[in-house]
Each structure stands twice: as structure tokens, then as C-alpha cells.
């Protein structure tokens, strides 16, 4: 298997698939794509990825992009640890969480890009729109956790990584986040598969700014 990721290793979506592959204990190679140089627009990559995005996974000649689709494919294709809950309601909820985190909360994603997590790069204080988006995130996270201090659905699932990543955009930057959500995100971040991504060597920050 071959996984295409961004050359800076800051994409939360590439991280999600990387973690999925590690949790399944699958062997794979990584090839980086320089998004800053528009390498994802090259004809060869465009023909492979179709959507011209990372992550893109190639398995036995089958190429697939879009991170949640890749994680679902991995979970359904390979044995081993489950990436999604076995219970159909919980599984649907996990997919809901993933879809929501990828399509909503745009002010937080814009003002706290993942560069603040992996490079601890400081940005301006949150705008009113971003503060409102953050409060929406906290409200939803607390409703999903429903008083639990561990995982969203009892056993760990890949949606835990995605939710922790969104919270860490704020936590690492130093923005105010409820203590229970800080504890949850910190616990998720300590998972070995997540730490392998977090500790990837990265180019100097000056290359990205």
C-alpha cells in the first residue's frame, strides 16, 4: 500500500488515515506531495487521486481519496482492531462526527490551522465568529462524550482522533478550552499511533510562511 500525504505532515486528514493504517497494523509506504508547489495538480497525481487531494491511498491498484472514505475502506477490507464501532448506531454517529468536523467549524479551521498544533505557531486572538464556532465545538463534544472521560463510544475509534485534533487546534494555541475536553484530547494525543504522526520530522516553519 502507498499513502500520499502532504509534505509538511500537518494535514489532519492525512493523519487520520495514517493512524487508521497503524491501528490495523498494516504495512504501507508514504509518498509526500508538496501542496505549496501545487504538486497535487500534476497530471499524474490528478489521474490517480481524482479529487487531487491528500490523503490518497493506493491498494492493489485501487486508488481512493477523502480520508473518512479511506478509513472506512481500511476497516471493511482488513481484519484487526476496529476503526469504527460495531454497534450500528455508534458507527453511524462516528461517521456523523467525522463528516461534521470536515464540513463545519470553518472559522476555527481558518484561524487555527493545524500548523499551530505541529509547529506551535501563534496566530491572532480568535474572532467573534471563531469564538462562536469554538463554543459550538465544545457543546457538541460534551454532548457526544456525555460525561465520559475516555473515548466517544467506550472503545476507541478513529472519530476520537479527529475530534481530538479539532480540539487541539485551540488547546495547543493556548485558547480557553473546558478542562474535561483538554483531558480528553490529551489522552487521545498520547496514543502511540497518533504520536508517530505528531513526531514526524517536518521542514522549517519558514518554508511554510
pLDDT tens sequence across 51-70: 998 999 999 999 999 999 99
Q: Confirm whether 207 is domain-assigned.
A: no
Are 50 and 115 in a shared domain?
no
pLDDT at 189 exceeding the cut of 60: yes
Range with the poorest average pLDDT among 64-73, 109-118, 141-150: 141-150
* Mean per-residue pLDDT, 4-14: 96
At residue 124 the predicted structure's pLDDT band, cuts being 50, 70 and 90, is very high
Q: Which residue has the higher pLDDT, 39 or 144?
A: 144
pLDDT at 205 exceeding the cut of 80: no
Are 188 and 94 in a shared domain?
yes
Are 22 and 119 in a shared domain?
no
Domain boundaries, position 112: 88-194
At residue 46 the predicted structure's pLDDT band, cuts being 50, 70 and 90, is confident
pLDDT at 206 exceeding the cut of 70: no
pLDDT at 3 exceeding the cut of 90: yes
Question: Chain-wide mean pLDDT for the chain?
Answer: 95
Are 70 and 157 in a shared domain?
no
Instruction: Among 46, 81, 116, give the residue marking a domain's end.
Output: 81
pLDDT at 118 exceeding the cut of 70: yes
Q: Percent of the chain scored above 90 by pLDDT?
A: 86
Range with the poorest average pLDDT among 7-21, 34-48, 114-128, 136-150: 34-48
Are 65 and 150 in a shared domain?
no
Are 95 and 189 in a shared domain?
yes
Are 34 and 66 in a shared domain?
yes
pLDDT for position 190: 97
Contacts with 155 (C-beta within 8 Å, 6 or more apart), sequence order: 82, 85
pLDDT at 140 exceeding the cut of 70: yes
56-59 sheet: strands from edge to edge: 29-33, 2-6, 56-59, 62-65
Instruction: Among 81, 104, 124, give the residue marking a domain's end.
Output: 81
CB 55 within 8 A of CB 63: no
At residue 34 the predicted structure's pLDDT band, cuts being 50, 70 and 90, is confident
Amino acid at each position: 500500500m502507498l499513502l500520499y500525504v502532504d509534505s509538511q505532515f500537518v494535514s489532519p486528514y492525512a493523519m487520520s488515515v495514517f493512524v487508521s493504517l497503524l491501528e490495523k497494523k498494516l504495512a504501507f509506504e508514504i509518498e509526500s506531495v508538496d501542496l505549496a508547489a501545487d504538486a497535487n495538480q500534476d497530471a499524474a497525481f490528478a489521474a490517480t487521486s481524482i479529487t487531487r487531494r491528500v490523503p490518497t491511498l493506493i491498494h492493489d491498484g485501487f486508488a481512493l481519496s477523502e480520508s473518512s472514505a479511506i478509513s472506512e475502506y481500511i476497516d471493511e477490507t482488513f481484519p484487526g482492531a476496529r476503526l469504527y464501532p460495531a454497534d450500528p448506531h455508534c458507527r453511524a454517529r462516528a461517521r456523523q462526527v467525522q463528516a461534521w468536523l470536515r464540513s463545519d467549524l470553518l472559522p476555527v479551521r481558518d484561524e487555527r490551522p493545524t500548523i499551530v498544533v505541529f509547529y506551535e505557531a501563534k496566530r491572532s486572538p480568535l474572532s467573534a465568529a471563531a469564538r462562536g464556532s469554538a463554543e459550538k465545538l465544545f457543546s457538541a463534544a460534551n454532548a457526544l462524550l456525555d460525561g465520559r472521560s475516555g473515548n466517544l463510544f467506550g472503545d476507541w475509534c478513529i472519530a476520537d482522533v479527529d475530534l481530538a485534533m479539532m480540539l487541539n487546534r485551540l488547546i495547543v494555541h493556548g485558547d480557553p478550552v473546558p478542562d474535561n475536553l483538554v483531558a480528553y484530547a490529551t489522552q487521545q494525543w498520547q496514543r502511540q499511533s497518533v504520536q508517530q504522526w505528531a513526531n514526524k520530522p517536518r521542514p522549517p516553519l519558514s518554508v511554510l510562511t
